[in-house]
Amino acid sequence: MADALTQLGFASWLSVLIASSIKVTLILVGGSVGMMFLTWYERRSISYMQDRRGPNRVGPQGLLQPISEAIKTMTKEDATPREADKIVHFLAPVVMLGATVLSFAVIPWGRMFPVDLNAAVLFVIATGGLHSIGMMMAGWGSNNKFALLGGMRGVAQLISYEIPQVMAIIPVVLMTGSMSLQKIVEAQNDFGGLGWYVFSPVGLLGFALFFTASLAEGERTPFDIPEADSEIIAGYMTEYSGMKFAVFYLSNYMSNLAVCFITATLYLGGGNGPGVDALGGFAGGLLSLIYFLLKSFALFFVMVLIRATVPRLRVDQLMSFAWKFLLPLVLVNILSASFWVALLRWDQQWPQLTEWFGAPSTADATNWGRLAIAVGLTLLINAGAVALIMRLTNRNVQKHLYTTDEELALGLS
Amino acid sequence: MTLSHLATEDVFVVERNDADFRAGQGMTKGLGIVFRKFRKALFGKPNSDRADTEGQFNVQYPEERLVLPEAYRNMPILLYDDATGHELCTSCFQCERICPPQVIHITQAKDPATGKPVPAAANFVLEYDTCMSCGYCAEVCPFDAIKMDHDFELSTGNHPELDVNYDRLLRPISYYEAIAPTMWSDVKEQAMKKLQNNIKRRPGAIGRDHGQKIKGGAAVAVAATPAAGAAPAAAAKPRGPVAAIGKNMPEEKVAKLISIRAANAAKRGGGDAGAAPVAEAAPIVETVVDTPAAASAAPSGPVAAIGQNMSEDKRAKLEAIRAAKRAQRGE
């Protein structure tokens, strides 16, 4: 776009500025309109799950409901506690929203990349980490015990789940050999646009782990402890009202949206799908955008489904789930991902292994054969690990939480 | 607890056995159930059978309404006879006494001629804002005059409007019959019998024609039924002591009575002519606005007493204060 403007006669710095402004505006508008759509989408879906009809009065099918709610929040009183740290209290929602908006910079809209960073994955992780700062600022700045507790719980959760979340991406990076989201999308374009990572054992487990950890990152049920609205009165958002509260909400939904986008990009092939390459050009780009949005909103639907089904976890269950269950699985997944990569690229990438150490050459094996071996091996590793860890975790839970009949009979407890 | 009303596949029992391998089967099954609910609510027909546990249960309220059961009760109303326009209430005060939040206030009607109470209410005020819809009043009423309404759309921006007076409480019997036919047919006979008895005990003018002003009531022809012919005929006559008295009494007795009454009236009015209209207006007005005062039936007393034992300036002062208070209350 900048090139086109330069050709029109703008100075180069000016054309870059204009082009960037337009892009930023588009992303911001896309993000917040997406968020508005999501609130409607979530409420409608969850109401159908509960045999209700949901918002359907404001506008056709209730589509203008978010706008009416925006007007409502804007006209509400904006109260700040007298003893609050005014600056921190004010900046907390700004930091939260800023962190979320940043991650929209690298999200591929189909095959259109606003910015193609070669470390986009790292960038997404880094901006995601900023959330905990905003949360702590809100909790601390409110000068309220409940807000502080909510903030602490939120930060504890965010930090705990950041680790499995980040490590769940590593298999993808290993398989692609790049941290650029564009490269990752391109790498999933085999088999007529259906070579998504989720179809490999490594990717499937990685997808499940990443999505679960992302639920916790986005404070979605069953991990919505920081703002557990029915127990600790909105947690770190206790002292926020009016538009500030709405900004928290906005950032929350936008980060959920971002999580869906990133998951779709990393594991579900982004905008890849049958027919994209065949069409090519602008039509192909449009089709890829449609694919991408469909995948993302399907993922969000799963989030809603989980919200409608699963009850909230207790804080200790939450922690033990992250550290004792997700983390070991993620480590095993990284291991099996390296096996996967090694088996598929045995000769191309590390010919030295055969040359120097006399490892068996697979140069004469077919690609399908290698693929079969890789699938078998990683499936074995992953399934075994899942079974083992689940078993251990179950037993652990049982020991601590329940008294079995035998124990009762023996008088052990 | 029985779960028999649920479909069997909705009940999922998680066996918490140490030896069993649990890998989220419960959660997967739960997600499946919720998804099925979603599908049925989205693509299925809206639920019309309440025994069914699936499908949309919504009623789009202002446009669609559920049929209320006959025994549904919201706020009390008073009934009057369509044919004669006579209200069924005899101001027996049963409902006022049983009312737990004490929101019913009745003023008994008096024979304008003799000043004696008659079986009818002069005013009947119900505070809808404090009423708890218990229905005790309707149950205790021996004349089936007070019944529970089905109208629940009572919201208003004007709070005092919820102190509902006689005229706004009255509904024709046909209205109640329409909302609760079997409940009315159970009590119809005795209620109408009692009504006829009570009409006989009222002097002619008491009992009114409500046809015009009550919502839901068709305009009532006054002389519609011969049975109640006496009442409308009396209503047509000019109200006043003389008219009522002069029926069955000898001439001189009537003259005596009139003179006594005139004397009484003069006494009640006091020397002060200005106080007289206040005294007359007081019972009703005071009941509507200031219920504690009405309960003691006091208002006519003090006003009348002003003229007797007070000095001129004191009385003037008191009058001024009272006038100010009345003005404040917006009379």
What number of H helices and E strands is found in chain B? 13, 6
Q: Which pLDDT score, from 0 to 100, does residue B181 have?
A: 92
Q: Which pLDDT score, from 0 to 100, does residue A272 have?
A: 87
- How far apart CA A350 and CA B175 sit, in angstroms, is 93
Q: Which pLDDT score, from 0 to 100, does residue A14 have?
A: 87
CB-based burial of residue B8 (10 Å sphere; 0-12 exposed, 13-18 middle, 19+ buried)? Answer: exposed
Confidence check: pLDDT of B124 > 70: yes
A387 touches chain B (CB under 8 A): yes
Contact A162, A216 (CB under 8 A): no
Contact A341, A377 (CB under 8 A): no
Pairing status of strand B170-172 against strand B76-80: parallel
B273 touches chain A (CB under 8 A): no
- How far apart CA B107 and CA B103 sit, in angstroms, is 13
Higher-confidence residue of B280 and B205: namely B205
Q: Which pLDDT score, from 0 to 100, does residue B207 have?
A: 62
Reduced 3-state DSSP string for A70-84: HHHHHHCCCCCCCCC
- How far apart CA B95 and CA B229 sit, in angstroms, is 30
Distance from CA of B62 to the nearest CA of A (A): 12
B48 touches chain A (CB under 8 A): no
Q: Most B CBs within 10 Å: which of A41, A44, A46, A49, as the mutation test of the B interface?
A: A49
- How far apart CA A48 and CA A335 sit, in angstroms, is 42
Q: For residue A7, what is the enclosing H or E element?
A: helix A2-7
Strand ranges inside chain B, DSSP E: 76-80, 104-110, 117-127, 146-148, 163-164, 170-172
CB distance A391–B31 less than 8 Å? no
CA B19 to chain centre: 68
CA-based end-to-end distance of chain A? 72
CB distance B27–A310 less than 8 Å? yes
Confidence check: pLDDT of B300 > 70: no
Write the ipTM.
0.80
**For B102-113, how does the pLDDT look when each residue is reduced to its tens digit (9 = 90+)?**
999 999 888 888
Q: For residue A200, what is the enclosing H or E element?
A: none
CB distance A51–B37 less than 8 Å? yes
Distance from CA of B327 to the nearest CA of A (A): 38
| A310: nearest CA partner in chain B | B27
CA A404 to chain centre: 38
Average pLDDT (B67-95) is: 89
CB-based burial of residue B321 (10 Å sphere; 0-12 exposed, 13-18 middle, 19+ buried)? Answer: exposed
Peptide bond just before A274 cis, omega within 30 deg: no
DSSP B66: P
Number of CB atoms found within 10 A of residue A283's CB: 12
**For B156-205, how does the pLDDT look when each residue is reduced to its tens digit (9 = 90+)?**
888 888 999 888 888 899 999 999 999 999 999 999 999 888 888 887 66
Q: How many CB pairs under 8 A join A and B?
A: 54
CB distance B21–A391 less than 8 Å? yes
Joined tokens for residue B314: 């004191």
Nearest to A49 among B18, B34, B60 (CB): B34
**For A165-175, how does the pLDDT look when each residue is reduced to its tens digit (9 = 90+)?**
999 999 999 98
Confidence check: pLDDT of B247 > 60: no
CB distance B42–A305 less than 8 Å? no
Tokens 């078993």 sit on residue: A391
B16 touches chain A (CB under 8 A): yes
Average pLDDT (B69-88) is: 88
Q: Which pLDDT score, from 0 to 100, does residue B113 have?
A: 81
Q: Which pLDDT score, from 0 to 100, does residue A208 have?
A: 92
A208 touches chain B (CB under 8 A): no
Confidence check: pLDDT of B306 > 50: no
**A306: chain B residues, CB-CB within 8 Å:** 31
Contact B77, B149 (CB under 8 A): yes
B133 touches chain A (CB under 8 A): no
DSSP string, B191-248: HHHHHHHHHHHS-TTSS---TTTSTTPPPPPTT--STTTHHHHHHHSPPSHHHHHTTS
Q: Which pLDDT score, from 0 to 100, does residue B189 have?
A: 92
Joined tokens for residue A330: 């993620």
CB distance B34–A53 less than 8 Å? no
**A45: chain B residues, CB-CB within 8 Å:** 38
- How far apart CA B12 and CA B30 sit, in angstroms, is 8
CB distance A49–B37 less than 8 Å? yes
Diameter over CA atoms, chain A: 89
Mean pLDDT, 10 residues at a time, over chain A (413 residues)?
75 85 84 86 90 87 90 88 89 90 85 81 89 89 86 87 92 90 87 84 91 88 74 76 87 89 91 83 87 92 91 82 88 89 72 65 65 84 83 58 56 53
Average pLDDT, chain B: 72
- How far apart CA A122 and CA A178 sit, in angstroms, is 11
Q: For residue A167, what is the enclosing H or E element?
A: helix A145-176
CA B166 to chain centre: 7
Q: Which pLDDT score, from 0 to 100, does residue B96 have?
A: 93
Q: Which pLDDT score, from 0 to 100, does residue B185 have?
A: 92
Distance from CA of B53 to the nearest CA of A (A): 9
Number of CB atoms found within 10 A of residue B260's CB: 10
Q: Which pLDDT score, from 0 to 100, does residue B281 have?
A: 39
Contact A343, A253 (CB under 8 A): no
CB distance A390–B35 less than 8 Å? no
Distance from CA of B179 to the nearest CA of A (A): 29
CB distance A48–B38 less than 8 Å? yes
CB distance A49–B16 less than 8 Å? no
Pairing status of strand B117-127 against strand B104-110: antiparallel
- How far apart CA B28 and CA B13 sit, in angstroms, is 13
B51 touches chain A (CB under 8 A): no
